[in-house]
Amino acid sequence: MELEELEDLFEDLDASAPSKEQLFRIYGIYLDDFVRNEVYFEGKKVVVNRDIVKDRREGCFVGKQKTFDHLVTRKNCYTGKRQYDKDRANKIHWVRTIIECHEHSLIKRFEKNDAKGHNNILLWYEEKKYIVILREERPDLFLVTGYCVDDIEQGRFRSEYKAYKNKKTSLRK
């Protein structure tokens, strides 16, 4: 799929939860994109957490892989628990496409360390307000997440991208 063609999967995806059929399709896309088939970024394999969510304390989608749960949920700032996110779920098919098309001029690639000191690679599709985050975990890259970027984050990412591009480091591409 081409970057310019990326659209939501469903017009009628409910904000509270996907239907059984929709969840089946969303999870199937995830499995096809990251479990049944390999994806590479700059020669490194992109891996996912294949552990299964055992109960609601671990995630929203019991019986599904943890990376999938993370891709279609977001942390509630009040409860600290993850909750289903319609926009993330509706764009799950964007993640692999953005990784594979990372050299396209529409994708802004930059790196930054997270709070735990891990080096993260950010692939920001600014025009569509979407970002994919990969973490270096030698010898592979771990798919951390992909999500819609709100207006406040757009400004922050714009600043971080500019600072990264202006920095003279060995990490800069």
Separation between Cα atoms, residue 26 and residue 151, nearest integer Å: 26
Say how far residue 47 (Cα) sits from the centre of its chain. Answer: 12
Collapsing DSSP to helix, strand or coil, 137 comes out as strand
Whole-model pTM? 0.91
* pLDDT on residue 114: 87
Ranges of beta strands (E only) in 29-118 are 40-41, 44-47, 73-75, 82-84, 107-113
- Each of the 173 residues of the chain gets a pLDDT tens digit; together they read 689 999 999 999 999 999 999 999 999 999 999 999 999 999 999 999 999 999 888 889 999 999 999 999 998 888 888 899 999 999 999 999 999 999 999 999 999 998 888 999 999 999 999 999 999 998 999 999 999 999 889 999 999 999 998 885 555 44
Separation between Cα atoms, residue 93 and residue 7, nearest integer Å: 9
* pLDDT on residue 57: 83
| Residues counted in the chain | 173
* pLDDT on residue 171: 52
* pLDDT on residue 51: 95
Separation between Cα atoms, residue 143 and residue 99, nearest integer Å: 10
- Residue type for position 120: N
In angstroms, the Cα distances linking 168 to 66, 112, 115, 165 are 36, 14, 22, 8
